[in-house]
Structure 1
């Protein structure tokens, strides 16, 4: 029978998960604590380690299946086979991967099928990156575990940082007869929603159904912040080892504004309003499987370096898929920066049970009037979505004005104005 691999404890109140991907196949060698599968919970991805060294035996559930905590999902045959290299099964796979990839590569932008993705052992995130970039995955060398392709491998190739072999050049000439078949082909693909995406959909709809959502807008002149960042970014990075970004300024500004308008940093609980004397900022971060919101705790008591360090750390963990449930628990206020994706204006949705979310957008030069003269200034639109049951319109406008004042005159951040 072998040693059983069970679903580990996933965190408080989490009883089940979805098996996202098998990382090992039957017959492959497995080291102790080496991940054999990845699980998707409501918030994060969790890797399941092997309890012993040996050979991967039987996978008892399929990818996409729901599994409970403690359930047996696979077996590991303990013994000498585990110390042998996994080359016994790899050569059988090696020829198949290029062959299947070659048939999919030429004219369809590398829209690979499920079978081809399985042959190349591409994760959903990597598969999406391949489809978006048009990179030929069979022409790349993976930097991940066991030579697997990572999303970063595909992105680097798409940006021209990794030269792809020129061997596939004859391919477009050879399958000339296949081209007409592919040209007019229309495809549909059904992909099961991940547990994270299902949770995002449910929570956002609940927010719309429960809260009295309203959004107010303002714009801010980024001239002074851009100048301060340009003046000190090199010294900042040299001293602290991290880059000085814009988010630190906005977190600091939000902390000052929340002192004047505490309702924005509060929540409704039953028939009571819960006020916080601290600011735990949920920072929206893009991860391969959706938007996640890790929390910078007591951000109002942190320095610029501590804030930027926390953001950089969470960004790295989000890309690697190593964010934990604890990283995203709580939060009293959210900041979402759609500007990094080019957004000009949006109406963000609050993250329950929070009562407000600040939306940042892209910076662009626009004509404005200063001292009677029309001049170009780097401007950004700000949006504050809030629960009107708790936050009045006057308070929402005041909060945004306080942020605008602090960003346009960063000295206020130093003297608590």
Structure 2
């Protein structure tokens, strides 16, 4: 029986997508729910799986082509007839039909293997029924002896050599292009300004060190990190300064009666910003668990579009990469973004004496069309005060 393979249903905020990678060729045996193609949108990579056991009869949209929501991208043949359909559409598949059954491989593991020219058949799988996981490929790469790079069957980049000076040209991904467009839009359409302050992280660090073991036991293994304190402090500061939580829509100012805080997560494909909905109602444990889940799924390309849509405020942490100071760019249509940085021990004057304290620079970039300097500075000082005396977060004072 022939089945139409369609692109996923895109939300209203996504106009179209691009076929990123076909993981199966016409005539190649496919099992039900096995990944067959990745569709890249402006925000995430969506996976399309096989509707049944069978094979692809015909690919209608090749890699790099643009597809619309629910557009037919391939035709699929279900059941035993798949084997007969292969020669008509892809004679090359005959040689593969005679090969032994392919080992089950997770999508993330397959991508890592393809990027490093690793044959997954040579990787020992530690997953269920011998499935190859991303960690298996990583371990294989660590243990494998250094070898000369193997040329890919289908080159994805044009390599130009002029003497010993080599250049490689690769197409920019759809996600990266969209990120670039939004950053340029924020820079050119807003009156963006950044204000700075510094926070003594010693109180939070002492509180974390004192209670982290009890916290982990009480919350089923959840680890107490720094980000949850910043999210709670930001949520409280947004409640006190609602204009920072607002956005401009044409000639109107939209005030949001909730704090949906986005947390920037770095991935191989670019920066994504999943959103903590109603962060003001979340506990520290819930925040930590949600952010950890976001990070793991972002690296594997498993985040949904709805999880990255919306948001009234954003926090980005360049400190995890060693950044001491930066000026974050607004995440439109939001009016402000908080930048965290590296915790650095510095000599500070405390009550007339010099003390070595773990300090962090904070940066708040804001849209000066909506926020005055007074409100922006007071907002940032509020976050500083809450973090330097964490009891205030619980007491809301």
Same fold? TM cut 0.5? yes
Distance 1:280 1:138 in 2: 43
Using the TM superposition, give the Cα deviation of residue 69 of structure 1 relative to its aligned residue in structure 2, in angstroms.
2.4
Q: Does 1:89 align with 2:104?
A: no
2:195 alignment partner, one of 191, 199, 216: 216
Using the TM superposition, give the Cα deviation of residue 238 of structure 1 relative to its aligned residue in structure 2, in angstroms.
1.6
1:388: which partner in 2? Answer: 368
2:305: which partner in 1? Answer: 325
Structure 2: gaps (5+ residues): 84-92, 102-108, 150-160
2:239: which partner in 1? Answer: 259
Deviations 1:338-358 (A, max 9, x none): 111111111001111110000
Q: How large is the Cα RMSD of the aligned pairs?
A: 3.2
Deviations 1:226-259 (A, max 9, x none): 1111111111122213111101100111122123
2:206 alignment partner, one of 208, 212, 227: 227
Distance 1:90 1:145 in 2: 25
1:47: which partner in 2? Answer: 47
Q: What secondary structure is seen at the aligned counterpart in 1 of 2:259? A: coil
* Farther-moved stretch of structure 1 (187-196 vs 351-360): 187-196
How does 1:143-182 map onto structure 2 within 5 Å? 152=135, 162-164=142-144, 166=145
Distance 2:135 2:76 in 1: 31
1:141: which partner in 2? Answer: 123
Q: Does 1:22 align with 2:22?
A: yes
Structure 1: gaps (5+ residues): 95-120, 131-135, 173-181
Distance 1:186 1:23 in 2: 33
Q: Does 1:204 align with 2:171?
A: no
1:289: which partner in 2? Answer: 269
Using the TM superposition, give the Cα deviation of residue 58 of structure 1 relative to its aligned residue in structure 2, in angstroms.
2.9
Q: Does 1:31 align with 2:31?
A: yes
Using the TM superposition, give the Cα deviation of residue 199 of structure 1 relative to its aligned residue in structure 2, in angstroms.
1.2
Deviations 1:283-338 (A, max 9, x none): 11112311111110111121111111211121122112111111011110000011
1:179: which partner in 2? Answer: none
The answer (yes or no) to whether the contact 1:331–1:354 under 8 Å persists in 2 is: yes
Using the TM superposition, give the Cα deviation of residue 126 of structure 1 relative to its aligned residue in structure 2, in angstroms.
6.0
Q: Does 1:77 align with 2:56?
A: no
Using the TM superposition, give the Cα deviation of residue 149 of structure 1 relative to its aligned residue in structure 2, in angstroms.
7.7
Q: Provide the TM-score with structure 2 as the length reference.
A: 0.83
2:90: which partner in 1? Answer: none
Distance 1:57 1:232 in 2: 59
Distance 1:371 1:88 in 2: 79
Q: What secondary structure is seen at the aligned counterpart in 2 of 1:64? A: coil
Using the TM superposition, give the Cα deviation of residue 372 of structure 1 relative to its aligned residue in structure 2, in angstroms.
2.1
Distance 1:275 1:416 in 2: 21
Change (3 A) 1:407 1:154: farther
The answer (yes or no) to whether the contact 2:30–2:53 under 8 Å persists in 1 is: yes
Q: Does 1:188 align with 2:167?
A: yes
Change (3 A) 1:19 1:93: farther
How does 1:336-375 map onto structure 2 within 5 Å? 336-375=316-355
Using the TM superposition, give the Cα deviation of residue 413 of structure 1 relative to its aligned residue in structure 2, in angstroms.
0.9
Change (3 A) 1:397 1:330: same
Change (3 A) 1:410 1:79: same
Distance 1:261 1:142 in 2: 55
Distance 2:329 2:283 in 1: 28
Q: What secondary structure is seen at the aligned counterpart in 1 of 2:394? A: helix
Deviations 1:3-48 (A, max 9, x none): 3322121223434211111111233211223221000011111111
Change (3 A) 1:389 1:220: same
Distance 1:246 1:155 in 2: 28
Deviations 1:91-129 (A, max 9, x none): 8699xxxxxxxxxxxxxxxxxxxxxxxxxx963x6666x
Q: What secondary structure is seen at the aligned counterpart in 2 of 1:201? A: helix
The answer (yes or no) to whether the contact 2:336–2:366 under 8 Å persists in 1 is: yes
